[in-house]
Amino acid sequence: MQKVQLELLHELDRICRKNHLHYTLSSGTCLGAVRHQGFIPWDDDIDVYMSWKDAEKLAECQNQFRDKYFVQSYKTDPKFPSTHYRLCDSTTSCFMKDTEGLDINHGIFIDIYIYYLYPDSRFMKKKITVDSFILRVLVANTHPKNHGKLVAFLGDMVLKFYKGKKRERKIESILREYKGNSWEKYVATYFGRDIGLGKCIKYPKEWFVHPKILCFEDMEVPCPGNPEEYCRLQYGNTFMKLPPVEKRQPHHEFIYASVSESYKDFKGIYY
């Protein structure tokens, strides 16, 4: 799986270079570059960041990718239940619990997390954090899983209030809010471990304007401009220390995965 994901990263890098688009490694992939000069040995994915502008341009470059690759988002694959993007290898299979049964591309993938400018004002920080929760619920069309009863309840309330065309208009309204600002200092992804109901990790915009090049397996790739500080924000001060052996586990819940069988062969079985 790591071999396929590395091939995906090579393809993403090729298209980005060709079209003057920018990405950086993120999350455990950045930690892997800092600590292992490649994959964390037990990791099961690759994560990168792109700005919303470059991610949208990437999707427009679909015909430049080799045939087996697909840029996935809820716009290119309407039942995909997430606000981030993926680059998928359609000749492979990767069925996971969080997308079980959905009629989407289930190829092995790398995750592309989208960052936007982060507000300066205290009011807008609160507003955009709340709006990010609403957006994730509306795009997924279900409440967040494994985040407690309160979060599930709030998610269900959002879905009851925003239905049909009202749901679509709210999604577009929040995205316009994300894209239409002119803040200067920080960026944020508003997704995943980076954000909760009352917190959001922000990163200096400068880190993405001037990334740092690090070795990742057989590549030299961009990372946030201060990769050590980035890892500290994500994982705490002990990020260079290996976790106990019993915690060295992949973090996705797989149903079935194959590097040699297309997900299309399993329609009617896993989706």
Does residue 195 lie within any of the structural domains?
A: no
What is the phi-psi region of residue 190: left when phi exceeds 0, alpha when psi lies from -120 to 50, beta otherwise?
left
CA 45 – CA 2 distance, rounded (Å)? 7
- Helix/strand/coil for 98: helix
Within this chain, do residues 254 and 176 fall inside the same structural domain, yes or no? no
Within this chain, do residues 13 and 95 fall inside the same structural domain, yes or no? yes
Within this chain, do residues 13 and 88 fall inside the same structural domain, yes or no? yes
Tens of each residue's pLDDT in the chain, 271 residues: 999 999 999 999 999 999 999 999 999 999 999 999 999 999 999 999 999 999 999 999 999 999 999 999 999 999 999 999 999 999 999 999 989 999 999 999 999 999 999 998 889 988 988 999 999 999 999 888 777 888 899 999 999 999 999 999 999 999 999 998 888 899 999 888 788 877 889 999 999 999 999 999 999 999 999 999 999 999 999 999 999 999 999 888 999 999 999 999 999 999 9
Does residue 271 lie within any of the structural domains?
A: no
- Residue pair 45/252 in contact (Cβ under 8 Å)? The answer is yes
Does residue 199 lie within any of the structural domains?
A: no
Does residue 200 lie within any of the structural domains?
A: no
Q: What's the structural domain count of the chain?
A: 2
Does residue 75 lie within any of the structural domains?
A: yes
Copy the structure tokens of residue 214: 């690090």
Helical H runs in the chain? 2-19, 27-36, 52-60, 122-140, 149-161, 164-179, 206-209, 227-235
Within this chain, do residues 32 and 151 fall inside the same structural domain, yes or no? no
Structural domain boundaries enclosing 248: 2-116+205-265
Does residue 270 lie within any of the structural domains?
A: no
pTM: 0.94
Within this chain, do residues 17 and 101 fall inside the same structural domain, yes or no? yes
